[in-house]
Amino acid sequence: QWLVAGAQPGDILFLQFSGHGTQVQSRDGMEADCKDEALCPTDYKEAGYLVDNEIYDLAVTPLQSGVKMTIILDCCHSGTAVDLPFMWEPRHGNWTEECGSPHTAGDVQMFSGCEDDQCSMDVKRHGRAGGAMTTAMTRAIRECPNFTYPDLLNRLHQYLQEDGHEQYPRLTSSQRFDPRSKCFSMCEGAVPNMNPVLGVGAPPRHQPQRTGGFLGFMQGFLM
């Protein structure tokens, strides 16, 4: 709340989380896989998880047109962990609308460390632990500060595959802009609102619920 409070057009916001993530049963029926993605703050045992639609309501909904926010989530099950409505599909070169998230006016893009049903790995560099996706992003930005959004996403995939990681980073957005004509920047290039109707999203596309396996083990461990 403190991050977005009083934000005005032209303001630039940045939100980054590197830690534990999990999935919990969805209570509102708005998730395609019947699960909510959630962050695990250090006090989650006392205060609870920070669930995707709660993050959306707190950090995305209040933003006005012309306010830019970049989110980086390097944690397990982070693919749609902010419930932004548009997901970039590298194989097809277009946006798909993923869920029933309402459309909002602010300009928000998120890079997540993996798919909703995947785990984000840790790595060690110079004797210090860190997130594999954060490490890959730092390396990519240092290599080329002017990557377009799809090129940066592709480079993250490349670096993670080279290091033997199976996680698949994702790019989601609150606006359906042309990412191939825009360079990645956390400080410039706010996209004005392009959603013709605010507060209305596409209905969820229900899929069979995933159960058991490593995902079930991790959720039980965190709970």
- Catalogue the active-site residues: 20, 76
Q: Where are the beta strands (DSSP E) in 115-208?
A: 122-125, 128-131, 170-173
Phi, psi of 68 (to 5 degrees): -110, 130
How many residues are there in the chain? 223
Identify whether the C-beta of residue 106 lies closer than 8 Å to the C-beta of residue 154: no
Contacts of 101 (CB under 8 A, 6+ apart): 30, 53, 56, 83, 84, 85, 201
Nearest to 168 by CA among 156, 179, 151: 156
d(CA 222, CA 39): 11
